């Protein structure tokens, strides 16, 4: 095992990795797109009213910008155990090793989690459908909109542009403020 194990964060791992990385570097993953394509039946939604969470969905001509998180050798076993409990508690995600291009010019092999398109929780939703679901869903870890806004805000703080998430964030705010406005 190398001195540092890299993990690619593209959603909640950016703002809640569950471990203290020894290095955190903006990174790019080619051939994948960050999408709200996984129905959340527990953390950000329920079986009665699902929410949506992000996953990496294969897209040959696309790329995803996120963060490479470095795990030191002495913490790798525990971090991997915790990550797998979190990400692989059902087969909606698959764990892969892939090449990341780091912002500082390095290329590294990294572990990441991608969507299993064959899983029943996978779905393709247009932007407005995503906004309507995210604006109203909530689960064990809180409102679905908080997940969206945390991800979008942290990407912005890191200087990583994601126009789709920015549009979605604004649209969800608009839906929620319209629903809260007195009639």
Q: Which residues are catalytic?
A: 87
**Cα–Cα–Cα angle for 119, 170, 27, nearest 5°?**
60
Token pair belonging to 77: 């076993």
Which of 85-90's residues contact partners 24+ apart within 8 Å by CB, and which partners?
A: 86/18, 87/113, 88/113, 90/119, 90/121
Cα within 13 Å of Cα(96), Cβ side: 15
């Amino acid at each position: 095992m190398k001195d540092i194990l890299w993990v690619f964060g593209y959603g909640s791992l950016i703002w809640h990795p569950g471990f203290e990385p020894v290095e955190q570097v903006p990174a790019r993953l080619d051939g994948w797109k960050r999408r709200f394509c996984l129905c959340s039946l527990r953390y950000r939604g329920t079986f009665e009213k699902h929410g949506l969470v992000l996953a990496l969905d294969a897209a040959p001509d696309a790329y995803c910008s996120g963060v490479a998180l470095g795990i030191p050798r002495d913490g790798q076993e525990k971090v991997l155990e915790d990550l797998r409990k979190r990400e692989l508690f059902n087969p909606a995600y698959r764990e892969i090793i892939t090449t990341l291009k780091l912002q500082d010019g390095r290329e590294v092999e990294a572990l990441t989690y991608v969507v299993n398109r064959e899983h029943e929780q996978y779905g393709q939703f247009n932007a407005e459908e995503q906004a309507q679901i995210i604006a109203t869903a909530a689960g064990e870890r809180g409102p679905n909109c908080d997940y969206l806004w945390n991800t979008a805000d942290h990407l912005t703080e890191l200087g990583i542009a994601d126009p789709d998430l920015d549009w979605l964030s604004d649209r969800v705010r608009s839906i929620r403020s319209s629903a809260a406005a007195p009639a």
